[in-house]
Amino acid sequence: MKQLSIKRIGLFVAALGIALAVPGFAVPASVSAAVADDDDRHPHFLSHKKADEAWPVMADGNSPLLTLLKTDEDTLRNELKNGKTLAQIAQERGVDKQKVIDLLVTQQNARLDEAVKAGKLTEDQAKRWREGLQERTRQIVDGQVKWHKHHRGSRYLEDAAQVLGMTPKALVEELKKGKSVVQVGKEKGIAEAKIVDQLLAKEKTRIEKRINRVWGQQSEKKDD
């Protein structure tokens, strides 16, 4: 269990570095969930309502995706919010689902390449993020991923906002402008190291509570 937790802490740190440094790259809820839950093995992102704002699917409007799907930004956002999957939207427009997957994977890889080139990420961080990227993207396009509302996904956003001394809504507005969490912090006079330390401290507390939990304790109390 300890070895598994250490591995997942490493995953969280790698993903945190990406989310802090790369504009438009949101940390998946599963990064926090994987640390907390042994059963949550597949990355899933923010709540369905916020997914198109947080995940790079709609970063900067994503004109290449709109062109591929033969639609406009408002229409795509509304269809996603109404419960349609990208696979369904593509099928309705006669577009091969694999082309959507390939485009999104290419875009995410490009973001990682840019981040490494700019010195915002290490090669190791980028490599770890790329692991399983194709499959994770397919799951999201197919709608196989659960959208968690006001749970672990939003927790990262809430933590970052708290560290920056602002509301989650205000932080989202800044991120939608193409800024990274680090950039927002610098504008507020908060050093990157301080942001990272405080976010890791919050996650460390959660991890410690999780690994020290006595499973079945609640059910035992009910039986007493």
58: domain range? Answer: 2-210
Q: Is residue 62 part of a domain?
A: yes
Q: Is residue 223 part of a domain?
A: no
Confidence of residue 3 (pLDDT cuts 50, 70, 90): very low
Q: Work out the angle between the directed axes of helices 152-164 and 192-211 (0-180°, nearest 10).
A: 140
Instruction: Please answer whether residues 86 and 57 qualify as being in contact, where contact means their C-beta atoms are separated by less than 8 angstroms.
Output: yes
Q: Is residue 218 part of a domain?
A: no
**For range 162-174, the mean pLDDT:** 88
What tens digit of pLDDT does each residue of 51-82 get?
333 344 555 567 898 999 999 988 988 888 78
d(CA 158, CA 96): 37
User: What is the residue type of 87?
Assistant: A
Q: Which residue has the higher pLDDT, 139 or 11?
A: 139
d(CA 99, CA 14): 28
d(CA 8, CA 57): 25
Q: Is residue 136 part of a domain?
A: yes
Most confidently predicted of 1-15, 60-74, 112-126: 60-74
Q: Is residue 130 part of a domain?
A: yes
| Phi-psi map region of 138: left, alpha, beta (phi>0 left; psi -120 to 50 alpha) | alpha
**For range 14-41, the mean pLDDT:** 42
Q: Is residue 195 part of a domain?
A: yes
Q: Is residue 222 part of a domain?
A: no
What tens digit of pLDDT does each residue of 177-206 get?
777 788 888 999 998 888 888 888 887 787
Confidence of residue 49 (pLDDT cuts 50, 70, 90): very low
Indicate the number of domains in the chain.
Answer: 1
* DSSP 8-class letter at 56: G
Q: Is residue 202 part of a domain?
A: yes
